[in-house]
Structure 1
Amino acid sequence: MSGAAPSTPPVRRLLVWRHGRTEWNASGRFQGQLDPPLDAEGRAQAARTAPVLAAALDPASTVLVSSDLQRARDTAGALAPLLGLPVQVDARLREHGLGSWEGLTRAEVADQLPDQYAEWVAGRPVPGRGGELQADVAARALAAVAELPPAETAVLVTHGGTAGRLLEALLDLGPEHRRVFGPLGNCHWSELSFQASGWRLMRHNTAVPTPGPVEGGATAHRDRGRSGSDVPDAPVPAAGASPEEAAPTQDADA
């Protein structure tokens, strides 16, 4: 941790919102900076979540910024008309680039690249994979926040891996504190507030309850308040998983 006094950011409240589910999330395929679209459940997640977020936002003092990847832009597009705001696009919010893993399933990585896979499961950097370093993902996401237009609140529509690195950086958590927070599920969000001492995490992995049983036997309301992100704690088709988070379950987001 740096211990330096925080500079005042252009916004004092951040909602970090992960995109809705894609078919690749549901099937455990690493996306990275590839760009599969939202699936039917992902579109439904965005449609359920957008009114809840809109009810807690003042359009006159809110900016809406999305990753340039389509799955994030389409998620943001569910909220934009409810606020009467444009979606501003910033490529610095796109997902962690995963190099040679992009397009592969977890099972394929485990089979073809067992040494790399073991490093990932252990939470360590993955040598030889290519793509981006975790620190570089955090740096570009922080730069996007620093250059937001002045507003009271910013809604950042991003991805599981990038959201995790951004939260850690805003809260001044070093590499030894990675995975303190579980990864965001699909269409879940975290809320941060800037106060005199810096950013504080007010809510994490908040979700709109699922209205009834979902695929795979999940029960209604089960995913509210889960503390996950790119990788759920247990198989949760509605939640998704990310590239740089912990042990494999069912679906991988990135």
Structure 2
Amino acid sequence: MYRVAPVAVPDWEIVIARHGATDWSRAGRFSGHRDIPLSAAGRAQAAELGRALRHPQPEIILSSDLGRARQTAEAIATAAEIDRRQIMTSTALREEFLGSWEGLTRAQVAAASPDGFARWASGDIGSFDGREGLVAVARRAVPVLVAHTTGLPRSSGRLVIVTHANTILALAGSFAGMRHERWADLPCPAPGQAMVLG
């Protein structure tokens, strides 16, 4: 069993933003590590999210290295009048690797792997069908959050992380110190939306 103590980030406002929509998300396709760009609607969502997060100005913007997250992070930086070159990207903030599910629709996965699809639909966050699993996602993503908040001088204290749905669940569950079996029950922002941890 994977348990974590609550992640301590005193005096920081941690905002976790989900990237804007893509054509694949609209079609119900699993993206995982596939580098899918934002759709026109996703670009509009990212611009609106940027306007919502510009005050107080983010001190740090961390982003998954995948294009859909980077495009969203760039919209946030533009709205906050931060040089885009200050965005820090990390492969550790990528979406969960989804194995053979990547690029498939829910119906295609249900037909190809009825048992795996049933596990996923019931909230199972484990590693199956070549999926990475959310515990593994937490093990790579949490250290990025800790490294960018621990012992660093701060001014506004707002850190914005731009990432993906399953990575958000892993970070939020770890931040709260929840048992991983409950992470699937956590709320997750819609595409182009954000939540504050803590």
TM-score by length of 2: 0.87
How far apart are residue 182 of structure 1 and its match? 2.4
**Separation in structure 1 between the aligned mates of residue 4 and residue 116 of structure 2, nearest angstrom:** 34
Contact 1:33 1:96 in 2 (8 A): yes
Residue type of the alignment partner of 1:129: D
Partner of 1:69: 66
How far apart are residue 72 of structure 1 and its match? 0.2
**Separation in structure 2 between the aligned mates of residue 168 and residue 153 of structure 1, nearest angstrom:** 20
**Separation in structure 1 between the aligned mates of residue 72 and residue 168 of structure 2, nearest angstrom:** 15
In structure 1, the gaps of 5 or more residues are 193-199, 201-254
**Separation in structure 1 between the aligned mates of residue 143 and residue 127 of structure 2, nearest angstrom:** 26
Partner of 1:14: 14
Q: For each residue in 1:163-212, what CA deviation from the matched residue of structure 2 results, as whole angstroms up to 9, or x when unmatched?
A: 011100000010232233222210111102xxxxxxx2xxxxxxxxxxxx
Could you tell me the percent identity over the aligned residues? 37
Residue 114 (str. 1) matches residue 114 (str. 2): yes
Q: For each residue in 1:87-144, what CA deviation from the matched residue of structure 2 results, as whole angstroms up to 9, or x when unmatched?
A: 1111111100011101110010011111111111112256641131211101111111
Contact 1:92 1:140 in 2 (8 A): yes
**Separation in structure 1 between the aligned mates of residue 107 and residue 57 of structure 2, nearest angstrom:** 44
How far apart are residue 13 of structure 1 and its match? 1.2
- The 5 Å alignment of 1:1-254 reads 8-9=8-9, 12-54=12-54, 56-59=55-58, 62-83=59-80, 84-85=82-83, 86-125=86-125, 128-148=128-148, 150=152, 151=154, 152-192=157-197, 200=198
In structure 2, the gaps of 5 or more residues are none
Aligned-CA RMSD value: 2.1
Contact 1:10 1:148 in 2 (8 A): no
Q: How many residues align?
A: 189
Residue type of the alignment partner of 1:40: A
**Separation in structure 2 between the aligned mates of residue 39 and residue 73 of structure 1, nearest angstrom:** 13
Q: More helix per residue: 1 or 2?
A: 2
* Other structure's SS at 1:24 match: helix
* Other structure's SS at 1:131 match: coil
How far apart are residue 69 of structure 1 and its match? 0.2
Higher relative contact order at CA 8 Å, sep ≥6: structure 1 or structure 2? 2
TM-score by length of 1: 0.69
How far apart are residue 68 of structure 1 and its match? 0.3
